[in-house]
Structure 1
Amino acid sequence: MTAPLDSAPGRLTIDLAALADNYSTLARRVAPARCAAVVKADAYGIGLERAVAAFWAAGARAFFVAHLGEGVLARNLLPEEAEIYVLNGLEGDADPADYGAHRLKPAIGSPEEFSRWTAFAARRGRPSPCALHLDTGMRRLGFDSLAALTIAMERDGAASGADLLMSHFVSSEIPDDPLNAIQIARFAAARAAFPHLRASFANSSAIFLPQRPIHDLARPGYALYGGNPTPGRPNPMRPVATLTVAVQQTRWIEAGVPCGYNARWTAKRRTRLATLLAGYADGLPRAAGATDEQPGAEVLLAGRRCPLVGRVSMDLVIADVTDVPEAAVRPGDRAELFGAGIEIDDFAARSGTIGYRLLTSLGRRYRRTYVGGQASS
């Protein structure tokens, strides 16, 4: 169920032109390598259908999803020639034939998965394309050593249909983290062992590392959607998502009066509050509001940054608008939580979380409007 468009107090505006421009910016930066698009988690919460269309129009021909189900959805939306890789590999007891039927390429990450995939290829009578995932330090998925991967390939490499070697950075957003150099060296050794495979290592932040570990296929995700791949430096990406919510009520309280659940924030002066129609049921972090012990996030009202105060409720959050002219904030006016005025990473950091989680947690009660594409809605 989605909210009726005219009644939703929260509005999420998604700029498809900015999305396409972010892809083009990254594609130029990684050239002559190719640039894929990571579209997992419903394209980071902005909507898979519109996102893949925008990326395809911008030139993307390779896409990465997390799950089999996401891959099937993406395949139904994309032209036949699109490459679609499934990052989590063969899920649990999933039938490899389901991947083959939809021309999906799982990222094979263990000897067991490799055996299942090559057995499927043998039943099918031909190699079935896949990626090979080598763990170079994340310790989540992937062959746990180059030796293990080499043994598997020596046994059944021809049958595997592997066309891509990949790994994942641990700390690419921190340029001077020594783990980057360690992982780059490990991946270089693997690439030397399998020179016939295309290689993919660079996520959003790794594209900006001085070592340029781009290889053949970069696979940015968060940066495509406006997140800053270079924390602590100016964001080279355009904002894609803008979230605004309506003011429901304003009131004055006196100094010493608390507000919100558990009275965690107390007014230090006579204060004007504005209650906004969004809360944690809409994906806002519960810790976005300031307490007496620590500051919180800010929103933009009448062109001024205003702090959120008190614990975020399920459906409501409170902003301190004392420093905004009283006539400039009335019920029905709109507050920007993030967008062009407040970067999503700024709002997330002040809320005690990260922009990735904020984007992918946005609830279904927002009115979603797409602009900048071939058609707006």
Structure 2
Amino acid sequence: MSLPSKINTSIRMSVAKRKLESRKIELRDGNPLEQWGLAKIKNDIKNNKELKELFGQKEPDKNDIQEYKLFKFRELIAYALENSPYYRDLYTSADIYPSNIRSYKDLEQVPLTEQEELANKPYHFLCVSRKDIAREFTSSGTTNMLKRMAYTQGELLEIVDSVISGLKMAGMDSKADTLQIMYPTITATWDPGLVLSKACDLAGYSSVINDSMDVHEQMNTIKEAGTTIIIGTSSFLYEISKQIRELVKPGEMGIKRIICSSEPLTEDMREEIENAWGCKTLRQWGMTELGLANAIECEHQNGFHLNNPDFLAEIIDPKTGKILPPGEKGELVVTTLRRKCMPLIRYRTRDITSLIDEPCNCGACLDQRIGDIERLVA
């Protein structure tokens, strides 16, 4: 890389670091993901006249955050009506306008967004000029439908910001920590390894990517890099854990946390992994079309903590579309509250779960959590 390129890269990194709320969060402040979300919400309130009039200077409580999300939902409806060809046609024909949404019950009026629509006409969802797109990613997820999503540079930075907060919550709290990234079977245009390594760079953490299927190569990297936290696909970490048990004693490698993502993790798989490494195993949930890193467990392993300022989550009856109360199982429907490039409104995930509203033992009491996830049978 030439000297001018190095200088430009250094400047961009410095600017990016200053924009990251996650860098300001300390573990002593409570659950890092919740604290990050609260900081983003407070910043929104500070910079929006209507929100400032609505909430004033007080510290937002759980009810305030629910009202904040309704406000952001109405704001997003207005934005989509003006900028998205798909939502403009859909909402105009259904007589949906921001003023319709006064309570969470009113969300039922708003048509659901089907995955097939996104797969068939992705650019109809686009709300910005093509020149404003920084990256596009394609994924089929678990539905075998190719879905293309576009993101601006600012949105990519916000995703990295949330990833850093999630890593902090998972226990990455020191520059002495090193994240080892194991995604040997991921072949998508959205490379989770690159996202994670960039997040570590911006947070000041160390990371190493090893996509080898060989357990001995992975072990050598752990020793050489001083790895303390591992993240990878659930199936690969399960298989490598069975081999590790034959080679080392639990805890011998110095790993303090395992994060399983991209695939379901059963309790039997979790038990096998924890017994092999001698540490807790946390699950992460996300979808490419929602920004990849959407929710993660804390050390208490009692539900996935959601990125609070980014998403409005609902549970619906998949047959009737009726919104279900917290604790009842149904289909997870998500709205991307802050997305400007290709927002998704009431997007059907086809995942079956429930919302958990009570406080978590980790200290989080403002954010929502989602329970165990099952796939919806078509």
More strand by share: 1
Larger Rg: 1
Same fold (TM over 0.5): no
**TM-score (norm. length: structure 2):** 0.29
More helix by share: 2
Which gives a bigger RCO, structure 1 or 2 (Cα 8 Å, sep 6+)? 1
**TM-score (norm. length: structure 1):** 0.29
